[in-house]
Amino acid sequence: MKVIESFQYDPTFAQIHFPTISVELAVKQLGLFYEQERAFIPHKLLYYYVRVLEAANSQELAFRIKFLKLGSRGFLYLSRILPFYTHIQELRLWKVAVNEEDVDRLGEALRVLGTLKVLSLEDIQLRDRGAIAVARGLAVLRHLEELWLSANDISSEGVVSLSRALLKLPSLHTLVLSYNCMGDAGCVALCNVLVQRSGLRKLELADNQLGAEAGQALVQVVQRNSSLTVDLSRNALSEEVKQLLSVCGQGALKTA
């Protein structure tokens, strides 16, 4: 499989990085442009994708797409073209400005990205509504290996929906939910699912308002999956729970 690094857009520096000069020229010829301090994605990005496929239709292509600090208008364009990127393996959005309509669009767009292996939606303020929308989209992502949702103000309600979706992700080995507000209730719901999963290798739950109940639930998860690496830093876990987690698991444990 040939992997194409699609452009990385960062309006802070107004730069677009292309994998090759020929791809850069093709994109510019199709009218793709950018202006400093503005996040604007024209519809013709869609035609760039089609043209690339036409130029190499004898090969199976995969795309990796990364956006940094994308504005709301830019996200609207992105949500419209995502369904056409049927070969995406990685989608990373960081500090993207989204509203309630945007997260609904994102959830719908995920439903057609069946080849996705890495989904990173960090610090975009999904909150519970966004987490629920993403959870609906996860149902078809059976090849997903990594899910990154840190710093999204997700509480127990959103985590419950995400937890149910995890049962439909047999290839998942990395789950990052740090810097949210799931609390004990959300963590217990998550652990009730994780005890049924043996393939998870990395779990990050730093700064999630976790206490005694969450700690006890996590002990059961680590007992079932001793190779799991867990980050529980910046949580009010008792020394007893920390000791239990350290004894039960052979994987790395971070609690400081």
Do 12 and 68 form a contact (C-beta atoms < 8 A)? yes
How many C-beta atoms lie closer than 10 Å to residue 180's C-beta? 26
Rounded to whole angstroms, the Cα distance separating 212 from 214 reads: 5
pLDDT digit of tens for each residue in the chain (256 aa)?
555 555 444 444 334 455 555 555 544 443 343 333 344 444 455 555 555 555 554 455 566 777 777 666 667 767 766 766 667 788 888 888 788 888 888 888 888 888 899 999 999 989 999 999 999 999 889 999 999 999 999 999 999 999 999 999 999 999 999 999 999 999 999 999 999 888 899 999 999 999 989 988 998 898 888 888 999 999 988 777 777 677 666 566 776 6
Residue 235 tokens, joined: 């949580």
Predicted confidence at residue 241, as pLDDT, reads 74
Do 44 and 30 form a contact (C-beta atoms < 8 A)? yes
- The ranges assigned to domains in the chain are 1-97, 109-256
Relative to beta strand 202-204, strand 229-231 is parallel
SS3 253: strand
CATH topology of domain 109-256: 3.80.10
Residue 52 tokens, joined: 């690339």
Torsional sign, CA 107, 203, 157, 167: positive
Residue 231 tokens, joined: 């980050």
Do 151 and 122 form a contact (C-beta atoms < 8 A)? yes
What string of DSSP letters covers 23-85? HHHHHHHTT----TT-----THHHHHHHHHHHHTTTS-EEEEEEEES--HHHHHHHHHHGGG-
Question: Radius of gyration over alpha carbons of the chain, in Å?
Answer: 20
